[in-house]
Amino acid sequence: MNKVLCIGELLIDFICSDINSGLTKGENFVKKAGGAPANVSAAISKLGGQAYFAGKVGNDNFGMFLKETLEEAGVDTSMLILDKNSKTTLAFVSLNEVGERDFIFNRGADELLTFDELDRDKLKSFKIMHFGSATALLGGPSKETYLKAMELAFENEVFISFDPNYRIDLWKNRLSDFVEISKQCLKY
């Protein structure tokens, strides 16, 4: 069976359970594990695949919850970094009356993942690497980490899966920046 590594954000989604209230008026929230690459790794594992996750969370209660959630789904978390100097990324989410999502992100450890923190030999051992891009390409060390990991994968003939996950609320009308960085990723 091919080993699949998913790289990217792992965060807490606080989902507003108050119907049609939005984030302004919502008072009740449900805590869920989130982050598109983490969700992909859990799905691969639940479907019988050999899934690994690489990313960074805070060494806090939320980070431990996320690590345990992935492990319960059968995901290998040996490449997950628990950072004692950073907090776990949090997202607050609500759905409006037409089902559109409203987000507020409090960025944390996920954006601080550096390429030097990843085991290069282990990266080369995967048959497939999946990259999600909801937050990783916004800037900070994670952006450079993605590009270097993609280059390493390409040079070692590792199949690359890339999810160009554009969120207008995160990119704040910088569509052209998103397109440019996505083009850089797609060359691999």
H-helix or E-strand containing 37? helix 36-46
> What φ, ψ does residue 54 adopt, rounded to 5°?
-120, 130
Task: Record the tokens describing residue 94, joined without a space.
Answer: 């609500």
Domain span at 161: 3-186
CATH of the domain at 60: 3.40.1190.20
Read off the pLDDT of each residue in 116-134 and give the average, rounded to a whole number. 92
Predicted confidence (pLDDT) per residue in 45-62, tens digit:
999 999 999 999 999 999
Predicted confidence (pLDDT) per residue in 56-114, tens digit:
999 999 999 999 999 999 999 999 999 999 999 999 999 877 777 788 889 999 999 99
Read off the pLDDT of each residue in 119-129 and give the average, rounded to a whole number. 96
- How many structural domains comprise the chain? 1
Q: Which residues contact 16 (CB under 8 A, 6 or more apart)?
A: 22, 23, 26, 28, 29, 92, 93, 94, 95
